[in-house]
Copies of this chain bind each other. A is one copy, B any other.
Amino acid sequence: MATDTCVFDSSDSVRSAVPLKYAQHVTFKEPLALKEGGSLPSVRVTFETYGTLNAKADNAILVCHALSGDSHVARHVPDDTVGWWEIVVGPGKPIDTDRYFVICPNLLGGCRGTTGPNSLNPETGRPYGPDFPVITVRDMVEVQKLLVEHLGIRRLRAVVGGSLGGQVALTWATQLPEMVAGTVALATSPRLTSQAMAFDVVGRNAILRDPAYQDGQYYGNGPGPTVGLSIARMLGHITYLSREAMIEKFDAHRMQPRQVQTQFETRFSVGSYLAYQGDKFVERFDANSYLALTMAIDLFDLGDTREEIRQSLASSQCRWLLMSFSTDWLFPPFQSEKMVAALIAEQKPISYCSVKSNCGHDAFLLADDLPIYGEMMRAFLANLDRADRAPADDTVEETALDELSCQDPTSIFHSRRLDYDSIIELIPTGASVLDLGCGNGGLLTRLRRHGCRQIIGIELDERAIVACVRRGLDVVQGDLDHGLSAFADGQFDFVVLSQTLQAVMDVPGVLKEILRVGRQGIISFPNIGYWKLRKHLYEEGRAPRAGSLLGYQWYNSPNVRFLSIADFEDFCSDNKIKIHQQVALDTEAGCKVHDDPNLNADMAIVVISR
């Protein structure tokens, strides 16, 4: 998105107020009681659909737009207007309209067909304007429920949305749990940060204090608060982009503004961009809708602490996929991570990735990071499918996944993981397991086949996470050196740290966390006491290394800790850690070692507990 030609192509506003040629409309004539009080006498919903509802009516996906979106999520025919999520929704795309029946309604309070402040108030015969009641995201969901039922759907395959759309998806999952099989929420949060809320406040003040706002009844009286709405929109645009993206877009030509017809300042490149965005927006958006929707966003609140968020999410019965974007400072990743922790604490099936991105909040609308977030979504949706069918054939999967060999930064072996066999032997069928540094999910897949019930992986690498989600595994992005704070005390029967201890900086911290979260820990590591390594240092006077075991040099190894079995035993004894079982391997010979493991084994697997 850094090229010159697309300076003004923020995907959130590529279209001006085009007619919604393929939109459908339905009016619900019962009064709708609102959560903050008051009611609406009737509600009209404008929506578009894509694909075909199957006979069981179980392939419907509800797509929820963000603040300034509408029902036109994608093209219906090749020469149709481009939709706001064209790259995600369509035949063969991550939300595949060849497989799914996609519904995208305009949100309650919007200004593109669904009842909002610019709708006629049947009680007065003029637009609601400032009399439009305070609406919440819960009200929006209530209206969408009416639509979904109207379409003959009792349970949605998935609800998908980003930003405000993500708040809507979160609300579906918790408010109507029995109606949602899967929830995909991107670039969203349990509630806004005070910083994000502050921008909304300033934007609303700009509208409310614009004299042309006329206390909200500007319809038919001039153009309305176009200056205030433009100011709000300019501000919004700053927050949708990352600093890095703005530097890329504007810095090289900061003093060369584009030629824009505007009454706003255009001295600088970024100024002409903002002026353009502000002016364009007022052509297609209603200021009262802006007020209503941003207020709903600001009022959205699943809580701040994990306990509060747990309570909010406890009712959900769906599978979860959450994604955030590293440079999104409006809905920063740490907020998604709070929800992840809450869902884990509630033992809900959850996968999560903070996608490394340059694009800021807008990332979820842009093509730049689609290879990660789109594929994650596609894989997640496919496994919602599969949950209705026979259990997955893991063998086939593994073969298919070989091509997706991402480099696991902590793996020592480049070939088959010999320690897996022994680890699986140590874990009884039915146990719950957390696998730290789970890579592509090889061990987790085998544990699933082994009959383990709650199995979760932690992994840092994005592509490995995609691979795990493809396998239908629950995997959460995380860095071991930052602890396991997402997990509750004693949440798992076993926590596995296979071939990773030697790459961990804070060894005591990680082991402490393992023994807090798991009733037992299973730790496998290479043994520096192995006779070949001893001999090498002793005779050669060179740092220990031995082909298959430590295939690195002293200067480029990801491994930063060197320990022998005896060292580990000493550590356990000093720290009152119990050793229950110990398996020693000679991986070159491919056998277990019983005689003097500290000398004869090149790898150890130790089962510990407090």
**Per-residue CB proximity of A341-353 to B under 8 Å, as 1/0?**
0000000000000
Contact between chains at B537 and A544 (CB < 8 Å): yes
The verdict on A251 contacting B194 (CB below 8 Å), with A205-B264, A567-B554 known, is yes
The verdict on A205 contacting B193 (CB below 8 Å), with A198-B270, A554-B563, A555-B508 known, is no
Interface size on A, residues (CB 8 A): 75
| Complex alpha-carbon distance, A540 and B332, angstroms | 50
Contact between chains at A254 and B554 (CB < 8 Å): no
Contact between chains at B247 and A194 (CB < 8 Å): yes
**Per-residue CB proximity of A472-516 to B under 8 Å, as 1/0?**
000000000000000000000000000000000101100000000
Neighbouring B residues of A231 by C-beta, 8 Å: 202, 205-206, 209, 231
Q: Does A519 contact B (CB under 8 A)?
A: no
Contact between chains at A194 and B542 (CB < 8 Å): no
Among B201, B508, B538, which residue has its beta carbon within 8 angstroms of that of A538?
B538
Distance (whole angstroms) from the CB of A107 to the closest CB of chain B: 21
| Complex alpha-carbon distance, A263 and B206, angstroms | 12
Q: Does A372 contact B (CB under 8 A)?
A: no
Contact between chains at A329 and B243 (CB < 8 Å): yes
Contact between chains at A534 and B529 (CB < 8 Å): no
Distance (whole angstroms) from the CB of A457 to the closest CB of chain B: 24
Among B211, B537, B570, which residue has its beta carbon within 8 angstroms of that of A537?
B537
The verdict on A205 contacting B246 (CB below 8 Å), with A194-B251, A251-B304 known, is no
Most-contacted residue by chain B among A205, A298, A507 (CB, 10 A): A205
Q: Does A391 contact B (CB under 8 A)?
A: no
| Complex alpha-carbon distance, A555 and B269, angstroms | 53
Neighbouring B residues of A205 by C-beta, 8 Å: 230-231, 234, 264-265, 274-275, 278
Q: Does A146 contact B (CB under 8 A)?
A: no
Among B268, B563, B598, which residue has its beta carbon within 8 angstroms of that of A201?
B268
Contact between chains at B529 and A542 (CB < 8 Å): yes
Q: Does A22 contact B (CB under 8 A)?
A: no
| Complex alpha-carbon distance, A253 and B562, angstroms | 49
Contact between chains at A249 and B537 (CB < 8 Å): no
The verdict on A298 contacting B564 (CB below 8 Å), with A231-B202, A555-B571 known, is no
Q: Does A197 contact B (CB under 8 A)?
A: yes
Among B206, B543, B560, B564, which residue has its beta carbon within 8 angstroms of that of A563?
B543
Contact between chains at A197 and B554 (CB < 8 Å): no
Distance (whole angstroms) from the CB of A524 to the closest CB of chain B: 16
Contact between chains at A542 and B567 (CB < 8 Å): yes
Among B193, B209, B264, B274, which residue has its beta carbon within 8 angstroms of that of A198?
B274
**Per-residue CB proximity of A227-238 to B under 8 Å, as 1/0?**
100110011001
Neighbouring B residues of A598 by C-beta, 8 Å: 541
Among B235, B329, B529, which residue has its beta carbon within 8 angstroms of that of A235?
B235
Most-contacted residue by chain B among A193, A199, A507, A554 (CB, 10 A): A554
Contact between chains at A234 and B202 (CB < 8 Å): yes
| Complex alpha-carbon distance, A251 and B192, angstroms | 10
Neighbouring B residues of A195 by C-beta, 8 Å: 238, 241, 243, 246-247
Among B208, B234, B508, B560, which residue has its beta carbon within 8 angstroms of that of A265?
B208
Contact between chains at B538 and A534 (CB < 8 Å): yes
User: Nearest chain-B residue to A330 (Cβ)?
Assistant: B243
The verdict on A274 contacting B201 (CB below 8 Å), with A193-B251, A209-B264, A555-B571 known, is yes
* A to B CB contacts below 8 Å, 10 in the list: A195-B247, A201-B265, A202-B234, A202-B238, A205-B234, A329-B329, A528-B543, A538-B538, A540-B566, A541-B598
Q: Which 7 A-B pairs have the closest CB atoms?
A: A560-B560, A529-B541, A507-B555, A194-B250, A538-B538, A194-B246, A201-B271
- A-to-B contact residues, CB < 8 Å: 193-195, 197-199, 201-202, 204-206, 208-209, 211, 227, 230-231, 234-235, 238, 241, 243, 246-247, 249-251, 254, 263-265, 267-271, 274-275, 278, 295, 298, 304, 329, 332, 505, 507-508, 528-529, 533-535, 537-538, 540-544, 553-556, 560-567, 570-571, 598-599
Known: A193-B251, A205-B265, A209-B231. 11 other contacts (CB 8 A): A193-B247, A194-B247, A198-B270, A201-B271, A205-B274, A206-B206, A243-B329, A507-B556, A529-B542, A537-B537, A543-B567
